[in-house]
Amino acid sequence: MRHIIIFDTTLRDGEQSPGASLNLPEKIQIARQLAQLKVDVIEAGFPITSPGDFEAVQAIAQAVKGPTICALARSVEKDIDRAGEALAKARKPRIHVFCATSEIHRKFKLRKAKSEIVRIAVDSVRHAGKYTRDIEFSPEDASRTEPDFLAEVVEAVIDAGATTVNIPDTVGYAMPEQYAATIRSLRETVSNIGKAVISVHCHNDLGLGVANSLAAVMAGADQVECTINGLGERAGNASLEEIVMAIKTRRDYFQCDTGIATPKLFATSRMVSTLTGMQVQRNKAIVGENAFAHESGIHQDGMLKERRTYEIMLPEDVGVPRSSLVLGKHSGRHALRVRAEDLGFKLTDEQLIVAYDRFKILADKKKVVYDEDVQAILEDEFAQVEETYRLESVQISSGTHSIPTATVRLLNLKGESLQDASTGDGPVDALYKAIERLTGVKARLKDYRIRAVTVGKDAQGEVSVEVEVDGRSILARGVSTDIIQASALAYLKAINSSLSRGRKPVVKGSKARAASL
């Protein structure tokens, strides 16, 4: 069977989702998980864009074995050199260079003639050849490029040494039939096309990212670029889990295969969702909470008689936990370690001790501890955000006839305990104002959501916030059996994340009282 190369760009295009930025340990954690998932290529970043991106590509190149590690570069020598340097330690390095080719980009963005674009593309591929033989070239906005010119560029870059030619639908404009025709036409008209792999990279602006990618596979594309949970610029990229499961479920139709370890899809999706703070919609195909839930009586009846009546995939094939009831207060450390591994967390002995302590406290409060609870503990405890401030305690007074007031105690990096209080329009407003007074960080709350992590009255509450600090959006989550505490944890995580990304804490005003512990 034809093998479809899965090129994951969660850490590059996915990380371009507004608010979804990741720090270095988080990127390494995701890259390791992608290697477990057995993706063929990890696009680890765009090294020229920031020292952080450079470091991430470098660290992933060193730490992650298995997949090819790829770095993005514009068709500019200094970008390519930076990508080459970042990949120096990679066992299988790939440089991905791109240059826009469509008329609209040539005319307004690049202000260059077609001949110049061809020269730039060819020179950049040759330059990348100084670092690796594995070179990918993308004519950006390929789907809006004149077909003849697209074929000319593709032929020229293959002659220059490109081993993969990627045909991006950069703005999600293509229609499946049309996009497939583009791939077919390249296969028919480009004389040296057999020397390179044809790749596709589809954005989801019209909701067609997956459909376009699959149409291209049918037309002969051998590599698909995609992201976990469909993260990416604007409406996102084609979703990896949907593409992989479509190919697996309809092998009869596609007559091809991927090497993805599909039982790891669910855990990978959860990990990416938590670390980026981008929630997965409940009815999302493959990894949404409702993807395997049957509500209607007729469906339930059919399922009980024969599950294939209403299920085209097995939940276990995508790693949806067989039973969401996993642990209780009598469960031991080993059970927690095994469950954590199923959920994508490999714990050291020290981490297991910490996690187990938290688990026991929770198990005492709740009768049953679900996978989602375990996941929440692990994510919270091992979240890689540097904690400039840690929540010590929060006290709220609120009611129909009183002014909501919050008193908050935080611990700073020096180990000092700081306390302040504030009133507000509601308890959460009061809480966030008190945190603002204590940290000196001015943050605008753009979104606040609350949901139960599992079922029942004793379920943990998960609060997701989007806050804007210095013009940048940050997403964060907090989980607790107390929703006020979850609200505080989420907000504080966002503040800590803004501080760990270079913003210095403002010296606190006289209202904040420092008391030694």
User: C-alpha 446: how far from its chain's center?
Assistant: 21
Q: Which amino acid type is present at position 329?
A: K
Residue 24 contacts residue 4 (beta carbons within 8 Å): no
3-state secondary structure of 447: strand
Q: Which amino acid type is present at position 16?
A: Q
Q: How far is the CB of 351 from Zn ion (least distance, A)?
A: 35
225 binds Zn ion (CB under 5 A): no
Q: Cα–Cα distance between 385 and 337 in angstroms, integer?
A: 23
268 binds ligand KIV (CB under 6 A): no
List 94, 144, 201, 409, residue binding ligand KIV (CB under 6 A): 201
User: C-alpha 232: how far from its chain's center?
Assistant: 8
8 binds Zn ion (CB under 5 A): no
Instruction: Residue 35: count other Cβ atoms within 10 Å of its Cβ.
Output: 18
- Structure token pair of residue 204: 């989801």
| Contact mark string toward ligand KIV, 124..143, x via CB under 6 A | --------------x-x---
Q: How far is the CB of 97 from ligand KIV (least distance, A)?
A: 9
What residues does 472 pair with on adjacent strands? 469
170 binds ligand KIV (CB under 6 A): yes
Q: Among Zn ion, ligand KIV, none, what does residue 140 contact (CB within 5–8 Å per kind)?
A: ligand KIV
In which residue are the tokens 């990618």 written?
A: 213
Q: Among Zn ion, ligand KIV, none, what does residue 493 contact (CB within 5–8 Å per kind)?
A: none
Q: Among Zn ion, ligand KIV, none, what does residue 14 contact (CB within 5–8 Å per kind)?
A: none
13 binds Zn ion (CB under 5 A): yes
Proportion of the chain in helix, strand, coil states, percent, rounded to 5: 45, 25, 35
> Interface with ligand KIV by CB under 6 A: which range of 164-172, 251-259, 350-358, 499-507?
164-172
List 4, 7, 13, 37, residue binding ligand KIV (CB under 6 A): 13
Give the Å distances, CA to CA, from 101 to 152, 294, 352. 11, 47, 52
> Interface with Zn ion by CB under 5 A: which range of 5-13, 259-267, 379-387, 456-464?
5-13
- Give just the sign of the alpha carbon dihedral 129, 130, 133, 138: negative
Q: How far is the CB of 170 from ligand KIV (least distance, A)?
A: 3
3-state secondary structure of 50: coil
Q: Which residues contact 335 (CB under 8 A, 6 or more apart)?
A: 326, 327
> Interface with Zn ion by CB under 5 A: which range of 11-19, 328-336, 342-350, 399-407?
11-19
| Contact mark string toward ligand KIV, 84..103, x via CB under 6 A | --------------x-----
Size of the site for ligand KIV (CB under 6 A): 9
Whole-number CA gyration radius for the chain: 25
Q: How far is the CB of 326 from ligand KIV (least distance, A)?
A: 39
- Taken as a whole, the chain contains a residue count of 517
> Interface with Zn ion by CB under 5 A: which range of 10-18, 407-415, 422-430, 473-481?
10-18
3-state secondary structure of 67: coil
Q: Cα–Cα distance between 301 and 492 in angstroms, integer?
A: 46
Q: Among ligand KIV, Zn ion, none, what does residue 98 contact (CB within 5–8 Å per kind)?
A: ligand KIV
> Interface with Zn ion by CB under 5 A: which range of 6-14, 326-334, 377-385, 431-439?
6-14
Interacting residues toward Zn ion by CB under 5 A: 13
Interacting residues toward ligand KIV by CB under 6 A: 13, 98, 138, 140, 166, 168, 170, 201, 203
